[in-house]
C-alpha cells in the first residue's frame, strides 16, 4: 500500500490510510491515531515509539501489514537516561497488570512507558486524540490496572501513584482526595 506524501496530509488522512491497511485487532484504531499523530510530529514520542527499530517493525507488520513501517518514522525526542530507573518501574507495573490477551500488550508497555516520559497528559504525549482513546486502550490491554482507576484519575498521575504505593510511599497528606487542595491536578479536565 503506497504511503501518502506526509507534506500536506492531515492526521485524519493518515489515520484513514492506516485503518484501510489494518489487520482487524480492536486496538488498531488507537494505534492508528497514535501513529498518524507521531508521523506528523505531534505528541512527544521518541524514535520507533520507544520500541526500538526491530520491535517497531514487528508491531507494524502484525497490525498494519503492507505498510512501509519506515515510511512513518519520525525523528522525535530522545529518552532521558537519568529516568531509566523510573522507566523500569513503570514497565514492571504495566507488565504485571496486562490483560494477558495479546502479544501487542508487550509492545504497548514500552510505548506507554515512553509516553510517560513526556511532559503533558499521557494521552497527549502518546499522540492520541482524546483521553477516552487512552482509557479504552488501558481497559483493553491493562484491565487489572485500569479497574483500579475507578475514580478516573489522570492516567499518568495514576500510574505514578501506583508506583509510590507499591514502594510504600504515600506523598498525599489529605485523608481523602475529595478534600485535597490538589484535587484538580489529579482529577480535573485534561482537555
* pLDDT at residue 180 tops 80: no
| Distance between CA atoms of residues 186 and 191, nearest Å | 13
* pLDDT at residue 174 tops 50: no
Q: Do residues 48 and 55 make contact, with C-beta atoms less than 8 angstroms apart?
A: yes
52 is a domain residue: yes
3 is a domain residue: no
4 is a domain residue: no
Q: In this predicted structure, what is the pLDDT of residue 11? A: 93
183 is a domain residue: yes
**pTM metric for this prediction:** 0.85
140 is a domain residue: yes
* pLDDT at residue 60 tops 80: yes
97 is a domain residue: yes
* pLDDT at residue 142 tops 50: yes
| Distance between CA atoms of residues 128 and 65, nearest Å | 21
Closest CA to 107 of 142, 73, 158: 142
pLDDT confidence bin for 177, thresholds 50/70/90: very low
167 is a domain residue: yes
Domains held by the chain: number? 1
62-74 average pLDDT score: 83
In a 13 Å sphere around the CA of 33, the CA atoms on its Cβ side amount to 18
Q: In this predicted structure, what is the pLDDT of residue 176? A: 44
Which domain, by its residues, includes 97? 11-187
174 is a domain residue: yes
Amino acid at each position: 500500500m503506497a504511503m501518502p506524501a506526509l507534506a500536506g496530509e492531515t492526521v485524519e488522512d493518515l489515520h484513514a490510510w492506516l485503518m484501510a491497511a489494518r489487520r482487524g485487532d480492536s486496538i488498531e484504531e488507537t494505534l492508528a491515531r497514535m501513529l498518524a499523530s507521531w508521523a506528523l510530529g505531534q505528541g512527544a514520542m521518541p524514535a520507533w515509539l520507544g520500541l526500538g527499530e526491530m520491535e517497531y517493525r514487528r508491531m507494524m507488520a502484525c497490525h498494519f501489514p503492507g505498510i512501509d513501517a519506515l515510511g512513518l518514522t519520525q525523528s522525535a525526542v530522545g529518552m532521558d537516561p537519568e529516568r531509566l530507573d523510573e522507566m523500569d518501574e513503570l514497565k514492571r507495573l504495566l507488565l504485571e497488570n496486562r490483560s494477558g490477551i495479546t502479544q501487542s500488550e508487550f509492545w504497548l508497555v514500552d510505548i506507554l512507558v515512553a509516553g510517560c516520559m513526556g511532559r503533558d497528559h499521557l494521552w497527549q504525549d502518546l499522540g492520541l486524540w482524546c483521553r477516552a482513546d487512552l482509557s479504552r486502550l488501558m481497559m483493553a490491554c491493562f484491565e487489572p490496572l485500569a479497574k483500579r482507576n475507578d475514580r478516573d484519575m489522570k492516567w499518568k498521575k495514576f500510574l505514578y501513584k501506583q508506583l509510590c504505593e507499591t514502594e510504600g510511599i504515600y506523598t498525599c497528606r489529605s485523608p481523602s482526595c475529595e478534600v485535597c487542595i490538589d484535587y484538580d491536578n489529579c482529577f480535573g479536565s485534561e482537555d
